[in-house]
Amino acid sequence: MRIAVTGAAGHLGRHIIDSLLARDVAAGDIVAIVRTASKAADLAERGITVAEAAYEDTAALTSALRGVDRLVLVSGSEVGRRLAQHTSILDAAKAAGVGFIAYTSLLNAETSELSLAPEHRDTEALLASSGIDHVLLRNGWYWENYASNLDAARATGHLFGAAGEGRVAGAARRDYAEAAAVVVTTDGHAGKTYELGGQPSITYPELAQAIGTVVGAEVSYVDQSVEEYQQTLEGAGLPTEIAQMLAGWDVAIAGGALETASTDLEDLIGRPATPAAEALAA
């Protein structure tokens, strides 16, 4: 059985390939779809087929996907362009006769107030009308997203945010990657939707404690208004547009966008997800 992974030279894609290999998929049965082949030279050296195909290039994607049985569609990273990119990938998958797709969506995609959610909802709808068997992997936040807070925490003793008492059911990228490898190497996942997050979910004050463990100092959470937090981010050098987007995400987090009680992640990978401190220390 041949398995392809998009975004294969990225962080999650590389973990997925490692997880496939760890699950005894032969390197020769893995197709790594990448935008720039030179970024995946190490994968080619390991015997993996590297196919260069931008998400916009349906013809190149179709040729990369010929002979592929199952595809892990790692969602694109260019917000605002992703629906067109995912449409192109699905058109290619149909043309190439791919039988099964695992799509990395967003936790609580149906109801999420995160600005990232509409593209995931629209992609889920595309998949539903594609006629291709598929599974939705609704990934929660990567703990690694908070790695950029470590230096500020070291310098100030604080984690800043606007998430209030909102809880985050996060996990390490490698946990989500393992779940993706499980659903494409075992049967019975077509038509399923998995809400993936680590248990127990934690609040930002608890996240600050975890960051404190990593930096070896006491770190406390400072809850700001959305306007104050945006200013904090701009003060740290982020462009206004990005600061506004990140502060907006915290408002959604305060409203529960990244909270779940689902145990789908640990059920799929057969172990608890990686705690925040451990993921951030790595």
Ligand X SMILES: NC(=O)c1ccc[n+]([C@@H]2O[C@H](COP(=O)([O-])OP(=O)(O)OC[C@H]3O[C@@H](n4cnc5c(N)ncnc54)[C@H](OP(=O)(O)O)[C@@H]3O)[C@@H](O)[C@H]2O)c1
Nearest to 136 by CA among 65, 191, 211, 59: 191
- Minimal distance in Å, beta carbon 79 to ligand X? 8
The residue among 39 and 46 lying less far from ligand X, judged by its C-beta, is 39
Q: Select from 19, 49, 62, 75 the one that contacts ligand X (CB under 6 A).
A: 75
Sole window of 18-26, 71-79, 182-190, 269-277 interacting with ligand X (rule: CB under 6 A): 71-79
Tell me whether residue 10 or residue 255 sits nearer to ligand X (CB atom).
Answer: 10
Q: Which is nearer to ligand X, 35 or 66 (CB)?
A: 35
> Is 38 near ligand X (CB under 6 A)?
no
241 binds ligand X (CB under 6 A): no
* Closer residue to ligand X, CB minimum distance, 34 or 162: 34
CB-based contacts of 199: which residues, under 8 Å, 6+ apart? 169, 261, 263, 265, 266, 272, 273
DSSP string covering 93-151: HHHHT--EEEEEEETTTTT--STTHHHHHHHHHHHHTT-SEEEEEEE--BGGGGGGGHH
Alpha-carbon gap, residue 258 to 169, rounded angstroms: 6
CA dist 105 and 110 (Å) reads 10
Does residue number 35 form part of the binding site for ligand X (CB under 6 A)? yes
Determine if 202 is a binding residue for ligand X (CB under 6 A): no
Taking the complex as a whole, how short is the minimal distance between the CB of residue 249 and ligand X, in angstroms?
10
Among 38, 77, 111, 225, binds ligand X (CB under 6 A): 77
Q: Which string of x and - marks every residue 84-123 that binds ligand X (by CB under 6 A)?
A: -x------------------x-------------------
Which residue from 142, 194, 204, 249 is in contact with ligand X, where contact means CB under 6 A? 142
> Stretches 49-57, 151-159, 238-246, 265-273: which one binds ligand X (CB under 6 A)?
49-57
Helices 173-185 & 11-22, crossing angle to 10 degrees?
Answer: 50
User: Binding to ligand X by residue 9, rule CB under 6 A?
Assistant: yes
Q: Could you tell me which of 223, 237, 217, 233 has the C-alpha nearest to residue 154?
A: 217
Task: Give the position of tokens 């068997």.
Answer: 133
Q: What are phi and psi of 31, to 5 degrees?
A: -115, 120
Task: Kindly state whether residue 262 participates in binding ligand X, applying the rule CB under 6 A.
Answer: no
Q: How many residues does the chain have?
A: 282
Q: Does 161 bind ligand X (CB under 6 A)?
A: no
Cα 195 to Cα 152: distance, rounded to the nearest angstrom: 31
Three-state SS for 21? helix
Q: Is residue 198 a contact residue for ligand X (CB under 6 A)?
A: no
Closest separation in Å from C-beta 141 to ligand X: 4
Residue 39 binding ligand X, by CB under 6 A: yes
Please report whether residue 193 would count as binding ligand X according to CB under 6 A: no
Q: Are 282 and 146 spatial neighbours (Cβ–Cβ below 8 Å)? A: no
